[in-house]
Structure 1
Amino acid sequence: MSALRIERIPAAIQAMPMLRSLPAEARRQIEAIATLREYGRGDVIWNTGDAAETLTLIVKGRVKIVRHGGGTDMILEIFGVGEPVGVVAVHNRMRYPATAIALEATTLLRVPARDYLDLVERHPELSRTLISDMTRRYLTLTRKLVESRSHPVEARIAQLFLSLAERMGESGEGGTTIPMRLSRQEVAELVGTTVESAIRVLSRWGREGLLVTGQARFVIPSCERLRAVAAATPSLPPPASDADR
Structure 2
Amino acid sequence: EELGDILREARPARFAKNSAIFDEGQDAHSFFVLLHGHVRATKTTPGGEQIVVRYVAPGETFGVAMAIGLPRYPATATAVEDSVVLAWPSSTWPRLVAKFPALATNTLQTIGSRLQETHTRVVEMSTQQVEQRVAHALLRLAGQSGRQVEHGVEIDFPISRQDIAQMTGTTLHTVSRILSSWERSGLIAGGRQRIVLREPHKLLVLAEAASGEDGPPDRA
- Length-normalised TM-score, structure 1: 0.81
1 CA distance for matches of 2:8 and 2:102? 21
Matched, 1:176 2:137: no
- Length-normalised TM-score, structure 2: 0.89
Inter-CA distance 153–223: structure 2 relative to 1 (3 Å threshold): same
Shift of 1:216: 5.1
2 CA distance for matches of 1:39 and 1:219? 26
SS at match of 1:45: strand
Partner of 1:63: 39
2 CA distance for matches of 1:72 and 1:155? 22
SS at match of 1:64: strand
Say which of 36, 44, 50 aligns to 2:12: 36
Say which of 76, 79, 83 aligns to 1:99: 76
Higher normalized contact order (CA 8 Å, seq sep 6+, divided by chain length)? 2
Matched, 1:196 2:169: no
Say which of 53, 57, 63 aligns to 2:29: 53
Structure 1: tracts of 5 or more residues without a match? 1-23, 239-245
Q: Which of these two proteins has the greater Rg computed from alpha carbons?
A: 1
Say which of 113, 136, 141 aligns to 1:136: 113
The number of equivalent residue pairs is 213
SS at match of 2:53: strand
Alignment of 1:85-234 (within 5 A): 85-87=62-64, 89-91=65-67, 92-215=69-192, 217-234=194-211
Residues 80-129 of structure 1 deviation map (CA, whole Å, 9 limit, x = unaligned): 10000122x12124211111111111111101122232111111111111
Inter-CA distance 93–114: structure 2 relative to 1 (3 Å threshold): farther
CA contact (8 A) 1:61 1:103 kept: yes
1 CA distance for matches of 2:214 and 2:31? 49
Partner of 1:77: 54
2 CA distance for matches of 1:161 and 1:236? 22
Residues 68-87 of structure 1 deviation map (CA, whole Å, 9 limit, x = unaligned): 11231110111010000122
% identical equivalent positions: 29
1 CA distance for matches of 2:100 and 2:157? 34
Shift of 1:149: 2.5
Partner of 1:16: none
Q: Counterpart amino acid of 2:109?
A: S
Q: Counterpart amino acid of 2:144?
A: R
- Which structure has greater helix proportion? 1
Partner of 1:9: none
2 CA distance for matches of 1:191 and 1:36? 33
SS at match of 1:33: coil
Structure 2: tracts of 5 or more residues without a match? 216-220
